[in-house]
Amino acid sequence: MGLFGFGKKTTGGPAAGPGGPADSEGAAGLGAPAGSAGAAGPHPGWRLIYNPKGDAADILANATGLTEGRIAGKYMLSKERLPDTVVIQGVIRKGIIAGADLNVDQEAAQREKIDVARQPRSGRSGIQSVGTVSLADLITKSSDSFHAQPVDLDQPAVLLYTSGTTGKPKGVMLTHNNFYAQCSQVVPSVFDMKPEDRVVMVLPLFHVYALSNGLVASIYNGCSMALVSHYSPTNLLSAIADQGATLLIAIPTMYQHLLQSARIRKQSIPRTLRACISGGAPLAVATIKEFEELFDTRINEGYGLTETSSAVSLNPSGEGYKEGSIGPPANGVEMAIMDDEGNLLGNNQEGEIVIRGGVVTKGYWNNPEATEESIYGGWFHSGDLGHRDDDGYYFITDRKKDLIIRGGFNISPREVEEAIATNPKVQEAAVVAVRDKREREAVKAFVVLKEPGSITTSELSEFCTANLAPYKVPKLFEIVEALPKNASGKVLRRELRGEATDDRLIEKEDHEQ
C-alpha cells in the first residue's frame, strides 16, 4: 500500500494535478506560508492530503505524527507548514483506535480482520483535549507530600446521589463522622476486617455499599484491595483465586452466578474466602447454604441505605441466622418500628423501620424539604415497612414509597416517567415495579401516546436508553389508551402493578451482565 503518496491518489479534487514525489521538499499546490502566530486573518490556503485507502494507524499517524514532529523539533517541521494541512481519509479495513490503557485481544483482532492502532501516551507535554486537564499530568507535576487538612468531622466528605420518590436524585451528605462510625462501630461488630485480609472490590465504588464497606473500611483496617473493573462471573472467580481473596462484598446476583460457574468447575473453586457479605436484595437460603459449602465460607446478609452510610444491620451466617430477616441492629445503631403518627411500636407490630446513630446522614445537600421529610423526631425514616420479632431481629415486608430497587440502585418511577414524557409523541407515562422470574424488581412503563401507532415500544426503549442510565430503562413497555387515575387525577400505580410476572424478562437480563 502506498502509504505516503496521498497526493497521487487525489483524483477529481479541486485543482487536481499530481502532487510531487512523496519525498520532495515542498509538495505541489502550496499556498503562501502562514502568517506569524497570533496574527488572525484570512487563511493562506490549505494543502489537502487525501487518503481513501487508509487504516486505523494512518488516522492516528496524521493526527499525532504531524504534531509530534512539530514539538519534537528534531524533525524540523516548519511552524508555517503544519497549520495548513487538512487530511481526509477513508479506511479499507475495519479498525480500532485504542487508548494506551485499553485491553485488546490481538488474536481476536487477527481472526476478525480488524486493525488495532494504539494511541501513544500523551505524556508530559502531549496533546490534550481542549478545555481539559489530564489527571496523569496533574499527578506527575505535583508534589507527593501533603498533610490531610484537619477539616470539621461533621463536614460532608461525600455526596452520594440517590433517587427518591420525588423524581430527581438527591445528594446524601455523608460526613467524616458518618464513615468513622461505620468503620469503628458497625463494621467490627459484624465483619471483622484485618490488615492481612484481601478484599475483592467488584461492585462499583460510586455506590455506598462498595464505597463504605469496601474501600473506606479496607483502608481503615489496612487491608489489600483487589479491584475488578469489569464484572463477569469468570472475572470475579479468577480475581478471588488469583489474589487469594479472603473477603468478598457482593450482591445476590453475583453469588448466584459464582455458584453456577462453580458447579461446572468444581475442582478449581477457590476456598480462600474467610467471609462474604451480600447486600442490596435478599439472598435465597438454598443459595447461601450451597455457596458456603462449595467455597468453604460464610455469607452474612447486610442491610443498609445510602442515608446510613451503608450497613446498619446484619443477618449473620450460622446459628444466629434467621430466614427472611435483615438481622438485629449493628453496634452503634438503633432501629425501631414506627407508626404513621410517630409512635414507636412493640415487637411483632407492622410499621416503618426507623434508624438513628452515628452512621445516619445529616440530610440531603441543598434540599431541606427532602431532609425534613426523611429525618424527624430524631429518627431517619427508611421507607421500608416491617416488624421486629421477640429476639430483636428485623424483617422487611413492604415499601412505603413508590421506589423501585434494582441491583441495589434506587430508581424513581417519577424520574423515568418524566424522561419518557419528554418524547414529543408521548402523552403521559406511568412506571411501576414488576417482578421478574427471579423475583427481582424490574421496571415496567405504561405509555399513553398522543397519536396511536406513532411510535413503537422498541423506539421508546431506545429513546430511554439515550436519556437514562441503563438500569433505569424500563425492561417492558406497554402502550395503553389511558392510565387508571383517582378522582383527583393521580395515577393509581397499584392497579398497574397488578400485572402478572413476565417471562420474557429472563432472556434479556441474562445479557445484562
Partner 1 sequence: MSNNSIITEPATLGQILEQVAHKYKRKEAILFGGRTITYGELDKNANRVANGLRKLGIEPGDRVAMMLPNIPEFIYTFYGIQKLGATAVPFNAMYKGREIVHIMNNSGARAIVALANFINLINEIRDEMPALEHVIMAGERTLVFVSPESTVNVQFVVDKSSFGDGDAAFRTVGEMLEQTFHDLGATDAWYKHRGSIRAKGRKLATVLVSEIENLYIVNTVSFLGPLKTEDFFRVIWVTPEVKDKVVEPMTSVEELIGRRPSLEEFRDAFVRRLEERFGSSVEPGDLKRDELFGYEKTRALAYRK
Binding partner 1 (rule: CB under 8 A), the pick from 285, 344, 469, 506 is 469
Angle 400-407-285 (CA atoms, 0-180°, nearest 5)? Answer: 85
Q: How far apart are the first and last CA of the chain?
A: 42
Residue 433 CA: distances (Å) to CA of 42, 70, 280, 410: 61, 58, 16, 12
* Beta carbon nearer to partner 1, 294 or 370: 370
Site for partner 1 contains 45 (CB under 8 A): yes
240-253 burial string, b = 16+ CB within 10 Å, else e?
Answer: beebebbbbbbbbb
The answer to whether residue 456 forms part of the interface with partner 1 (CB under 8 A) is no
Closest to 446 measured CA to CA, from 410, 503, 485: 485
Q: What is the greatest pairwise CA distance in the chain?
A: 93
**How big is the site for partner 1, counted in residues (CB under 8 A)?**
187
Question: Minimal distance in Å, beta carbon 78 to partner 1?
Answer: 8
The single residue among 1, 2, 3, 339 that binds partner 1, judged by CB under 8 A, is 3
Orientation angle between helical segments 413-421 and 457-467, nearest 10 degrees:
110
Which of residues 161 and 322 has its CB atom nearest to partner 1 in the complex? 161
Tell me which stretch binds partner 1 (CB under 8 A): 181-189, 258-266, 313-321, 393-401: 181-189
- Given 2, 155, 504, 508, the residue binding partner 1 (CB under 8 A): 155
User: Based on CB atoms, which residue is closest to partner 1, 404 or 496?
Assistant: 404
- Asked whether position 511 contacts partner 1 by CB under 8 A, the answer is no
Stretch (H or E) spanning 357: strand 351-357
Q: One symbol per residue from 46 to 65: x for binding partner 1 (CB under 8 A), - otherwise; what is it?
A: xxxxx-x-x-xxxxxxxxxx
Distance of CA 208 to the CA centre of its chain: 12
Q: Is 194 in the site for partner 1 (CB under 8 A)?
A: yes
Is 88 among the residues that bind partner 1 (CB under 8 A)? Answer: yes
User: Is residue 86 within the footprint of partner 1 (CB under 8 A)?
Assistant: yes
Choose between 28 and 492: whose C-beta lies nearer to partner 1. 28
Taking the complex as a whole, the smallest distance from the CB of residue 455 to partner 1 amounts, in Å, to: 12
Residue 149: DSSP 8-state: P
Among 33, 165, 166, 180, binds partner 1 (CB under 8 A): 180
Q: Which residues contact 439 (CB under 8 A, 6 or more apart)?
A: none
Cell of 435: 417482578
Q: Is 183 in the site for partner 1 (CB under 8 A)?
A: yes
Q: Is 215 helix (H, G, I), strand (E, B) or coil?
A: helix
The correct pick among 1, 2, 72, 485 for binding partner 1 (CB under 8 A) is: 72
Query: 33, 165, 166, 224: which one contacts partner 1 (CB under 8 A)?
Result: 224
Q: What are the CA-CA distances from residue 291 to residues 257, 278, 381, 440 (Å)? A: 11, 12, 34, 20
Q: Quick one: which of 13, 342, 377, 392 contacts partner 1 (CB under 8 A)?
A: 13
The set of cell numbers assigned to 470 is 441503563
- Residue whose CB is less far from partner 1, 93 or 265: 93
Locate 138 and state its grid cell.
496533574
DSSP per-residue codes, 286-330: HHHHHHHHHHT--EEEEEEEGGGTEEEEEE-SGGG--TTEEESBP
Beta-strand relationship, 170-175 and 156-162: antiparallel
Among 2, 164, 165, 179, binds partner 1 (CB under 8 A): 179
Q: Does residue 332 belong to the site contacting partner 1 (CB under 8 A)?
A: no
- One of 33, 226, 256, 509 touching partner 1 (CB under 8 A): 226
Report how far apart, in Å, the C-alpha atoms of 356 and of each of 256, 309, 334, 361 are: 33, 12, 5, 9
Only one of the segments 246-254, 348-356, 372-380, 463-471 lies at the binding site for partner 1 (rule: CB under 8 A); that segment is: 463-471
Least Cα distance to 384 among 396, 392, 395, 372 occurs for 396
For the CB of residue 59, give the shortest distance to partner 1 in the complex, in Å.
Answer: 5
**Contact between 1 and partner 1 per CB under 8 A:** no
228-236, 263-271, 322-330, 339-347 -> range binding partner 1 (CB under 8 A):
228-236
Stretch near partner 1 under the rule CB under 8 A, chosen from 8-16, 303-311, 321-329, 437-445: 8-16
Binding part of the chain for partner 1, among 288-296, 313-321, 339-347, 362-370 by CB under 8 A, reads 362-370
